[in-house]
């Protein structure tokens, strides 16, 4: 390699490499915007190799973690079990009452009809690795194009919105979490229908930005996707408002959102293989005290 | 060739391993091993041209495994390599303590670079308080791991060389301009 120093002017090489990197960024950015970021085989092979390797490397770490958490859990299992039994009894009773109320209002049938029309096929996927850089929040999942996963497909868990597939290889895919600074999702407060934009902050919390005037946003309000923009279906649970800042004289007000998903414990996700117009009713059954809102989509 | 292949293997394995590590340890408390390998290359790799190509390649590999745009970390790795290369010619970076302080500073520059490129190329915001908080802890962890990674790369550069003089000697004393 020392000879190449003499043959090739280093400054020319630097300029060339910088140009390649910048052009690559511009092209990749366009791919993200147009949702066509499917890596060719030669490029995606690193992702395909990394996924099973990360899965294998994680095994001893997971074994240690599971053993430790199992030991800790055992210490408090009796107390927790008693508490859970009481909670199950209470929730069973509450569930029964809610179902009765739903049946009485005819909504249950409408929910069933809506699910028939709009149910979104979902592909379960395992998280095999997270972002190596502290400045980005993405994950690697073990399902790729061979299973129908494509860029732009939303990723959720049973708790709520996780993120979006941003790049795919043949057997794996990369998903950007909603926590990432590059992410913004059009959201709506379920209670007041106030609209705003949910942005990732790079931390474990999100930010809800909304127009201060005429908006009703309070602590403990639930934030769901609005469906605008067409990227995410309507009604996916994003998180709960944990703090509302004082707007002062600002036109835009900000609130902190605690994500519905515990990203630190995320292991399995679901890739939505196509988009449905609304899932709000499916999630609103988990809300608890609040009655489910009216379906926004057409109900038969 | 053997040396280059081994460095490539280490440099690509680093973010792969880190992807697993970060599922157990928050990323801000984990070292950026790929970044440290590139800095060590800047300090120890004999050929500047070869080191630049390696740095860019490892950067692209990191981009593939990360949420960054393809080329974003490659560009920053080139910057890190260049800064390390120039600094090693002017500063005494032999030993754990000087290298740790150097990596501390370079981690901050890298974070500013990420924020700047995010502003230009993505919807992500610039440098903010969350990033500053993450940077403080991340820079310290990077600094702690700088010397071992540097030693590893230096060992590869010397032990697996195909040609003589594979190792690039670091200056022991800062260059003093004569008057």
∠ CA B57-B60-B64, rounded to 5°: 140
Residue B108 included in any domain: yes
Does A133 touch chain B if contact means CB atoms closer than 8 Å? yes
Q: Which of B32, B52, B73 is nearest residue A14 as measured by Cβ atoms? A: B52
pLDDT given at position B105: 93
Position A80 scores a pLDDT of 82
Report how many domains make up chain B: 1
SS (H, E, C) A246-273: CCCCCCEEEEEEEECCCHHHCCEEEEEC
Please give the pLDDT value at position A111. Answer: 54
- CB of B64 closer than 8 Å to CB of B19: no
**A20 at interface of B, judged by CB pairs closer than 8 A:** yes
The answer to whether residue B74 sits within a structural domain is yes
Q: Which pLDDT belongs to residue B78? A: 95
Q: Residue A290 has what pLDDT?
A: 42
Q: Which stretches of chain B score pLDDT less than 70?
A: 123-125, 160-179
- Residue A24 in any domain: the answer is no
Determine, for residues B64 and A46 on separate chains, whether the beta-carbon distance falls below 8 Å: yes
A61 domain residue, yes or no: yes
Give which of B17, B24, B32, B67 to mutate to test A binding, by max A Cβ within 10 Å. B67
What Å distances lie between residue B19 and A11, A262, B15, B85, B168, CA to CA? Answer: 34, 18, 6, 28, 31
> Which residues 6+ apart lie within 8 Å of A74 measured at CB?
none
Query: Does residue B179 sit within a domain?
Result: no
In a domain, B168, yes or no: no
Residues from chain A contacting residue B69 (CB–CB below 8 Å):
24-25, 28-29, 32
Q: Evaluate whether residue A22 is within a structural domain.
A: no
In the prediction, which pLDDT does A295 show? 36
pLDDT at position A284 is 42
Which of B65, B160, B167, B169 to mutate: most A Cβ within 10 Å? B65
Residue B167 lies in a domain: no
> Please, where are the H alpha helices in chain A?
2-7, 10-33, 41-105, 107-118, 280-284
What residues in B contact A199, CB-CB < 8 Å? 125
Domain count, chain A: 1
Find the domain containing A298 and state its range: 39-300
For residue A49, is it within any domain? yes
Nearest Cβ partner for A131 among B22, B115, B125: B22
| CB-based contact A198:A208 (threshold 8 Å) | yes
A138 located within any domain: yes
pLDDT at A264: 84
Does B173 reside within a domain?
no
Task: Please check whether residue B58 lies inside any domain of the structure.
Answer: yes
Burial letters A166-183, b for 16+ CB under 10 A, else e: bbbbbbbbbbbbbbbbbb
pLDDT tens for the 300 residues of chain A, in order: 455 555 568 888 999 999 999 998 888 887 777 656 778 777 778 878 888 888 788 788 778 877 877 777 777 787 888 888 888 877 877 777 776 676 666 656 655 665 555 467 888 898 888 888 888 899 999 999 899 898 888 998 888 899 999 888 888 999 999 999 888 899 999 888 889 999 988 888 999 988 877 778 889 999 999 888 778 888 889 999 999 887 777 788 889 999 999 888 888 899 988 654 444 444 444 434 343 343 333 333
We report the CATH number of the domain holding residue B105 as 1.10.1760
Evaluate whether residue B141 is within a structural domain.
yes
Could you tell me if residue A113 is inside a domain? yes
Does residue A3 belong to any structural domain of this protein?
Answer: no
Q: Say how many C-beta atoms besides its own lie within 10 A of residue B152's C-beta.
A: 17
- Containing B54, the helix (H) or strand (E) segment is helix B48-64
Which domain covers residue B135, as residue numbers? 2-159
């Amino acid at each position: 390699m020392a000879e190449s120093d003499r043959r090739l002017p280093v400054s020319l090489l630097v300029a060339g490499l910088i140009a390649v990197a910048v052009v690559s960024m511009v092209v990749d950015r366009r791919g993200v915007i147009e949702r066509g970021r499917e890596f060719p085989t030669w490029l995606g092979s690193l992702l395909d190799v990394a996924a099973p390797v990360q899965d294998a490397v994680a095994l001893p770490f997971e074994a240690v973690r599971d053993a430790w958490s199992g030991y800790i859990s055992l210490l408090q299992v009796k107390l927790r079990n008693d508490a859970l039994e009481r909670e199950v009894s209470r929730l069973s009773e509450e569930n029964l009452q809610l179902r009765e109320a739903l049946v009485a209002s005819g909504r249950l049938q409408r929910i069933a009809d809506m699910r028939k029309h709009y149910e979104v096929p979902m592909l379960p996927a395992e998280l095999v690795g997270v972002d190596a850089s502290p400045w980005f929040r993405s994950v690697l999942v073990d399902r790729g194009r061979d299973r129908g996963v494509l860029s732009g497909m939303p990723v959720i868990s049973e708790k709520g919105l996780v993120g979006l597939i941003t790049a795919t290889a043949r057997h794996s895919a990369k998903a950007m979490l909603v926590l990432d600074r590059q992410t913004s999702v059009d959201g709506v407060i379920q209670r007041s229908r106030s609209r705003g934009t949910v942005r990732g902050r790079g931390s474990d919390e999100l930010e809800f930005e909304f127009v201060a005037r005429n908006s009703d946003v309070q602590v403990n309000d639930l934030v769901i996707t609005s469906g605008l923009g067409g990227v995410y279906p309507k009604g996916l649970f994003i998180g709960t408002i944990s703090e509302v800042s004082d707007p002062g004289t600002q036109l835009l007000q900000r609130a902190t959102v605690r994500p519905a998903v515990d990203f630190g414990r995320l292991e399995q996700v679901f890739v939505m293989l196509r988009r449905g117009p609304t899932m709000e009713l499916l999630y609103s059954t988990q809300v608890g005290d609040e009655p489910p809102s009216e379906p926004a989509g057409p109900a038969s | 060739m053997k040396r280059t292949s081994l460095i490539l293997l280490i440099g690509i394995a680093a973010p792969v391993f880190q992807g697993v590590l970060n599922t157990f340890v928050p990323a801000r408390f984990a070292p950026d091993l790929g970044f440290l390998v590139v800095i060590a290359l800047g300090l120890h790799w004999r050929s500047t041209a070869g080191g630049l190509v390696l740095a860019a390649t490892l950067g692209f590999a990191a981009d593939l495994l990360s949420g960054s745009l393809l080329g974003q970390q490659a560009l920053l790795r080139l910057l890190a390599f260049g800064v390390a290369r120039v600094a090693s010619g002017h500063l005494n970076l032999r030993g754990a303590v000087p290298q740790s302080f150097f990596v501390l500073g370079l981690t901050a520059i890298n974070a500013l670079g990420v924020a700047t490129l995010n502003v230009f190329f993505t919807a992500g915001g610039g440098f903010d308080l969350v990033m500053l908080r993450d940077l403080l802890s991340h820079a310290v962890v990077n600094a702690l791991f700088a010397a071992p990674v540097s030693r590893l790369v230096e060992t590869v550069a010397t032990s697996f060389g195909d040609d003589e003089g594979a190792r690039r000697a670091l200056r022991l004393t800062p260059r003093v301009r004569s008057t």
